[in-house]
Structure 1
Amino acid sequence: MLKIRIGFGLVNYPFEDGRGYFRWVEMLERAGVDSVWQSDRLISTDNYLESLSALAALAGCTERIKFGMNAIVAPLRDPLVLAKQCATIDYLSNGRLLPMFGVGYPKAAEWGATGRSSDHRGSIANEMFELIDRLWREEKVTYEGKYFQYRDATIAPRPVQQPLPLWIGGNSQAAIKRTARLGTGWIGGIASPDDVRTVIAGIKAEAARLGRHIDDDHYGTSLAYRIGSRDDDAVVNSPFVKRTGIGETLDLDPLFCIGSSADVIDRLRRYIDAGASKFVLFPIAAGEQDTVEQTRRIIEEVKPVIEN
């Protein structure tokens, strides 16, 4: 039987300062929420915490809750530094890190701003994932790739989790093949239940072809939600909704769930039927208090029904 678990992320940073963020995380910790997830945007005029720095802080101020990146754009990072950062955070948190990686949006601002091309980001990521996984497990890693060449590289301390999971995101055919070959789990972005079903089936089929198996409990997806109305200012004026390109028409289905708590439960059950068991919920909210209230509604009205 699948272990259904709900985590939370933020579509925008709604807090006036760092204390508001820590209060929100403390709320999740007290409520028994499974996990908290940090989005990765290195260049933005909006406030976005740097993912690994934020997770390192959470390792020191929480005791139970797990935390992950949703998702680190791997080709913008150095694989050795990234492997070392993840291992350190997992070590300091006594095994609570959920590393999740993606290849990034090809037109994201980070590429042009740093003078990089996004053309080969998938191939670069493939080499990075091979390297990172080996660095977490092996000593004296030697690697000869097109983009990376390592000789006798070792990191210590190692992650507490052995093996440290390697979650991969993305809905494309390339992402399906990448997850099946290199990943230990998959979490989708904002996608419909039908799309999630298709991707999960594709990963399972490709993994079987390669002689691999990914645990049935290691499939999940993300969902932006609001318990309220489509006419709420938080929806109409949401930068996140506008970034999707559908904000003007408010044709939000099937990518978002806006309605009652029962509507959110129904949507999550459709994802469960599609094969997902891990969820990252993103409240569409206007400011700190609204974010806290939207989170509270899920904790009190949705989580007990879905997880039990």
Structure 2
Amino acid sequence: MNVGLGLPISDPAALLDWARRADAGPFTTLALLDRLVYDNPEPLVALAVIAGATTRVRVQTEVLLAPLREPALLAKQAATLDLISGGRLVLGLGIGGREDDHLVAGTDLRTRGRRLDEQMAVMRRLWSGEPYGDGAGPIGPLPARPGGPEVLFGGFQPAALARVARWGDGFLAAAPPSWAGGLIDTVHRFWKEAGRSGEPRIVTQVNVALGPEDVVTDACAAMGAYYEFTGMADRMVSGMLTTPGEIRQAIAQYADLGADEVMLYCYGRDPEQVDRLADAL
């Protein structure tokens, strides 16, 4: 089982410390979430810096809100990062549910799923080296990975799960083991119905904080602030895992569900969590 880290967003200056520790440890991937109207680092910019400071770990958006972005430029940015990092980019994509993000971006919240499908058609074409069309030629550079970086889709609704088979390479299941299994089974069903060969890559996610009480308190406060808009922040924070035993148990449960990788998402800022989590594994 591969294990990656979701990086905290509240202290961008500390991310290189997190990245270097993780690159020297057992972790496979470093990820950053995406919001527009929030005090978080822009993920593609931040992951480019992280990729330059590391040599081994993959860098992943978890998830990038693609409908907020213009597809040709996004394709170019992703291809550039994938090429320069030696094929280490994993592009996790989602549609975003915050009205303020779409308001600022000038995009329509109601049509964000359809827009993502349209974006994927454009990006897949550009990553293959084909012309943009309408009088415009190819948009390079070509990514390191033929056909484009690995694309994972997050989401919970049937349309999002079906998108994995239509356009993606795998699924980001940001759900506890108790109900991630149903989502994973549905993704596999759509994959087979679409006639896709092989299997989708399954990446799961669980929120963790490991360390003294102040580390856990910091993580709970940051996570609660991030999810305040849902009206269920307390419920979500209560699911955070805070002991090595809980974390190992969750990883084992995800392994039983057929996951290929578990992302341990950290909201607490203390970079020494990297070493504590490595020891816990």
Alignment TM-score, normalising by the size of structure 2: 0.89
Q: Counterpart of 1:227 in 2: which secondary structure? A: coil
Deviation of 1:152 after TM superposition, in Å, equals 4.8
User: What one-letter code is carried by the residue in structure 2 that aligns with 1:192?
Assistant: P
Q: Contact (CA 8 Å) 2:155, 2:161: kept in 1 or not?
A: yes
Deviation of 1:199 after TM superposition, in Å, equals 1.2
Q: 1:139 to 1:115 in 2, by over 3 A?
A: closer
Distance 2:213 2:224 in 1: 11
Deviation of 1:183 after TM superposition, in Å, equals 0.8
- 1:185 maps to 2:170: yes
Q: Contact (CA 8 Å) 2:7, 2:30: kept in 1 or not?
A: no
- 1:299 maps to 2:278: yes
Distance 1:43 1:88 in 2: 25
Partner of 1:104: 96
User: What one-letter code is carried by the residue in structure 2 that aligns with 1:298?
Assistant: L
Q: Contact (CA 8 Å) 2:203, 2:259: kept in 1 or not?
A: yes
Partner of 1:283: 266
Distance 2:257 2:236 in 1: 25
Distance 1:95 1:281 in 2: 22
Q: Contact (CA 8 Å) 1:230, 1:250: kept in 2 or not?
A: no
Question: How do 1:75-224 residues align onto structure 2 when only pairs under 5 Å count?
Answer: 75-105=67-97, 107-142=98-133, 150-163=134-147, 164-189=149-174, 191-213=175-197, 215=199, 218-224=201-207
Any idea what the Cα deviations from partners look like across 1:146-168, whole Å, max 9, x if unmatched? xxxx5554122211112431111
Deviation of 1:141 after TM superposition, in Å, equals 4.2
Q: 1:92 to 1:297 in 2, by over 3 A?
A: same
Q: 1:293 to 1:62 in 2, by over 3 A?
A: closer
Question: How do 1:44-59 residues align onto structure 2 when only pairs under 5 Å count?
Answer: 44=38, 46=39, 48-59=40-51
Gaps of 5+ in 2: none
Q: Counterpart of 2:262 in 1: which secondary structure? A: strand
Q: 1:224 to 1:249 in 2, by over 3 A?
A: closer
Distance 1:24 1:122 in 2: 33
Alignment TM-score, normalising by the size of structure 1: 0.82
Distance 1:170 1:64 in 2: 28
> In proportion to residue count, which structure has more helix?
2
Q: Counterpart of 1:70 in 2: which secondary structure? A: strand
Q: Contact (CA 8 Å) 1:181, 1:210: kept in 2 or not?
A: yes
Q: Counterpart of 2:110 in 1: which secondary structure? A: coil
Q: Counterpart of 1:222 in 2: which secondary structure? A: strand
Distance 1:274 1:153 in 2: 44
Deviation of 1:32 after TM superposition, in Å, equals 3.8
Question: How do 1:11-90 residues align onto structure 2 when only pairs under 5 Å count?
Answer: 11-14=8-11, 18=13, 20-44=14-38, 46=39, 48-90=40-82
Distance 1:248 1:140 in 2: 49
Q: Contact (CA 8 Å) 1:204, 1:213: kept in 2 or not?
A: no
Q: 1:250 to 1:66 in 2, by over 3 A?
A: closer
Distance 1:109 1:199 in 2: 28
Any idea what the Cα deviations from partners look like across 1:169-210, whole Å, max 9, x if unmatched? 111111111112111111122x12132111111111111111
Figure out how many residues of one structure are paired with residues of the other and give that number. 276
Any idea what the Cα deviations from partners look like across 1:233-259, whole Å, max 9, x if unmatched? 3355x1313525444468724xx323x
Distance 2:261 2:196 in 1: 21
Distance 1:133 1:5 in 2: 27
Distance 1:125 1:103 in 2: 7
Identity of aligned residues (%): 26
Partner of 1:6: 3
Q: 1:95 to 1:114 in 2, by over 3 A?
A: closer
Please tell me the root mean square deviation across aligned C-alpha atoms, in Å: 2.3
